[in-house]
Homo-oligomer: A and B are copies of this chain.
Amino acid sequence: MTRHIHHDLKVYGSIKLYAGTGSPELAQKISDYLGEPLCERDVIEFPNENLFVKLRSSVRGQDVYVIQTTSQPVHRNLMELLIMLQTLRLDSAARVTAVIPYLAYGRSDKKDQPRVPITARLVTDMIEIAGADRYMVIDPHAGQVQGFFSIPGDVLTAYHLITDYFMRQRTQMVEPVVVSVDLGFAKKGRNLAAALDAPMAFIEKRRSTNNATAEALTLIGTVAGKDVILVDDEVDTGGSICEAVNLVKKEGAREVYVAFVHAILSANAAERLASLPIRRIVTTDTVPIPPAKQAILADRLDILSVASLLGEVIRRAHEGRSVGEMFNE
């Protein structure tokens, strides 16, 4: 029989949490969940825009997690993440995990026309070359982005949170139907519908044959007299979601709920959403929503926090325990 070795895992020193400047509140909540403080570091922007990072204490041999979202300012946040990763690697951390609640450029994931980039792959390459040993992301645009990374990681989903939300609302809703705003999102929408035991419908967008720029929207499936849950992975300028709201309303929807994970809300997306007959807007804090935008939507906005999700996965990753178990998978 084998000589006994203690079976508790001690591979990577202690958890060390670092936060970029992209999502400080979420980072603090994760820290609170774990009961582990955010480590002190300086992040300085010089007048020439160059960023500088200095860790206040050594991470030699430690198990480090850098929490940084890559929403706006996108390129600054991304570069800050990369510099932090390199700094931690050069300080001889035992393992560095990039915790990226929202991964920028996720929609540039294939060449659907000639002579264009696959920027999502460029971004994953940059994260690896900077020094990440592992990564965590939430609901990337396509799950296939896992295959862009050479390093292992945890691709998590916030749809459990959104499902739970609507399960709680269920009794107050009339014949809910899940409507996928984008055909590329059809499969994820189906999962939400199945969890809610609700039927589905789709919005198909098609370029008009005699007018290159105009697009025609069609609803496939029925929503008349039903409560509609419009779902998508992210809302950017809000253009698609606004058209979708109008379409389902025109098709006779009763109440309209809008659910999406990543609240980019660029340009005047908040104002556009506010002007529509939406009952509730359900999203998460993978991207920080500025107070001004929250104010515009406040009475109808529900922000579900991914902090305990990320916190629990960090804890399990550190302790070498299964993450899949969290979801009974």
Report the separation of the CA atoms of residues A329 and B111 in the bound assembly, to the nearest whole angstrom.
Answer: 12
A95 to chain B, nearest CB (A): 10
Question: Do B58 and A322 touch (CB < 8 A)?
Answer: yes
A159 to chain B, nearest CB (A): 12
Binds B, one of A101-109, A246-254, A294-302: A101-109
Q: Known pairs A11-B12, A90-B111; list 19 more (Cβ under 8 Å).
A: A5-B8, A7-B13, A48-B104, A49-B75, A52-B116, A53-B116, A53-B117, A61-B320, A86-B117, A86-B121, A109-B144, A110-B147, A122-B130, A129-B129, A147-B148, A183-B187, A200-B204, A201-B220, A221-B221
A124 to chain B, nearest CB (A): 8
Question: Do A50 and B108 touch (CB < 8 A)?
Answer: yes
Question: Do A57 and B5 touch (CB < 8 A)?
Answer: no
Question: Do A34 and B110 touch (CB < 8 A)?
Answer: no
Contact of A111 among B115, B119, B155, B218 (CB under 8 A): B155
A152 contacts the other chain (Cβ, under 8 Å)?
yes
Report the separation of the CA atoms of residues A73 and B79 in the bound assembly, to the nearest whole angstrom.
Answer: 13
A160 to chain B, nearest CB (A): 14
Size of the chain A interface, CB-CB below 8 angstroms:
120
Question: Do B236 and A110 touch (CB < 8 A)?
Answer: no
Nearest chain-B residue to A323 (Cβ)? B114
Question: Do A119 and B183 touch (CB < 8 A)?
Answer: no
Report the separation of the CA atoms of residues A37 and B296 in the bound assembly, to the nearest whole angstrom.
Answer: 49
Binds B, one of A20-28, A166-174, A276-284, A311-319: A311-319
The proximity string for A residues 76-92 relative to B, scoring 1 for CB distances below 8 Å and 0 otherwise, is: 10110011001101111
Contacts of A155 in B (CB 8 A): 110-111
Nearest chain-B residue to A130 (Cβ)? B122
Report the separation of the CA atoms of residues A59 and B11 in the bound assembly, to the nearest whole angstrom.
Answer: 13
Contacts of A34 in B (CB 8 A): 1-2
Question: Do A11 and B122 touch (CB < 8 A)?
Answer: no
Report the separation of the CA atoms of residues A1 and B315 in the bound assembly, to the nearest whole angstrom.
Answer: 9
Contacts of A110 in B (CB 8 A): 142-144, 146-147, 155
A291 contacts the other chain (Cβ, under 8 Å)?
no
| Of A13, A61, A236, most B-chain CB atoms within 10 Å | A61
The proximity string for A residues 47-69 relative to B, scoring 1 for CB distances below 8 Å and 0 otherwise, is: 11111111111111110000000
A293 contacts the other chain (Cβ, under 8 Å)?
no
Contact of A218 among B129, B199, B320 (CB under 8 A): B199
Contacts of A147 in B (CB 8 A): 109-110, 118, 120-121, 144-145, 147-148
